Amino acid sequence: MRGIAREQAILAATIEVLGEIGYPALTMDLVAQRAHASKATIYRRWRGKAELVKAALDAHDAELVVDVPDTGTLRGDLLAALTMMCARLDDRYVTMMTGLIHAMRIDAELAEALRQHVADEDLGPFLTIVERAVARGEVPEGTSSERAHEVAEGQIMRRTILGRPLDHDFLADLVDDLLVPLLTRTFPAQGDR
């Protein structure tokens, strides 16, 4: 295994190990063993654990951007992307992310790496969705995807913490009541809903 395939195996192994044992117990040895790679290979590419974790999360999230279908409408694209996002939120992923949030409180290097990860708009589907909507004339040129990304993640996180389902009804309400009005700046009148 060489180059890109080796890197992908290492990043996938990092996500797997994080989901199983969490950040504090994650070691380069465990990742190397899982990825069938050497520690030297890992250290040549990533200086330390925090940098490796950021790269793994970046790669994990970038997959979603590539897979978001173009449905032909802003609403359809948002629903498709959110459905795909929520389908990936299994117990292992939620455990991994809550563990990382806790670990970043005591590990400054991890905290900075995660802040960089979260701030990278290219890693979420919203930038692509907004660019498509601009091209179709659904939203004005210069529309930012950042606030929609923040609102969607915040609502999904809240729902996950409360143990409520991330079902179609929730996603449709999120899109119709918050995201589309936010992006198009067309807020429905009180009685129009």
Token pair for residue 117? 């990860």
CB neighbourhood size of 141 (10 A): 7
Residues 18, 126: Cα–Cα separation, whole Å: 26
Q: How far is CA 109 from CA 53, 62, 185, in A?
A: 11, 22, 38
Instruction: Specify the amino acid at residue 177.
Output: D
Q: Is the pLDDT confidence value at 192 over 60? A: no
* Reported pTM: 0.80
Kind and range of the H or E element at 138?
none
Kind and range of the H or E element at 68?
none
Query: Which pLDDT band holds residue 13 (cuts at 50, 70, 90)?
Result: very high
pLDDT attached to residue 118 = 86
Instruction: Specify the amino acid at residue 158.
Output: R
Extents of the domains making up the chain: 49-185
Tens digit of pLDDT for each residue in 93-147? Answer: 888 888 899 999 999 999 999 999 988 877 778 999 999 999 999 999 999 998 8
> Which residues, at least 6 apart from 3, have a Cβ–Cβ distance to it below 8 Å?
none
Query: Which pLDDT band holds residue 190 (cuts at 50, 70, 90)?
Result: low
> Which residues, at least 6 apart from 39, have a Cβ–Cβ distance to it below 8 Å?
28, 29, 32
Answer yes or no: CATH 1.10.357.10 is held by domain 49-185. yes
Cα 83–Cα 88–Cα 90 angle in degrees, nearest 5: 125
Query: Which pLDDT band holds residue 88 (cuts at 50, 70, 90)?
Result: confident
Tens digit of pLDDT for each residue in 32-84? Answer: 999 999 999 999 999 999 999 999 999 988 887 777 889 999 999 999 999 99
- What are the counts of helices (DSSP H) followed by strands (DSSP E) for the chain? 11, 0
pLDDT attached to residue 7 = 93
Mean pLDDT of 169-190: 88
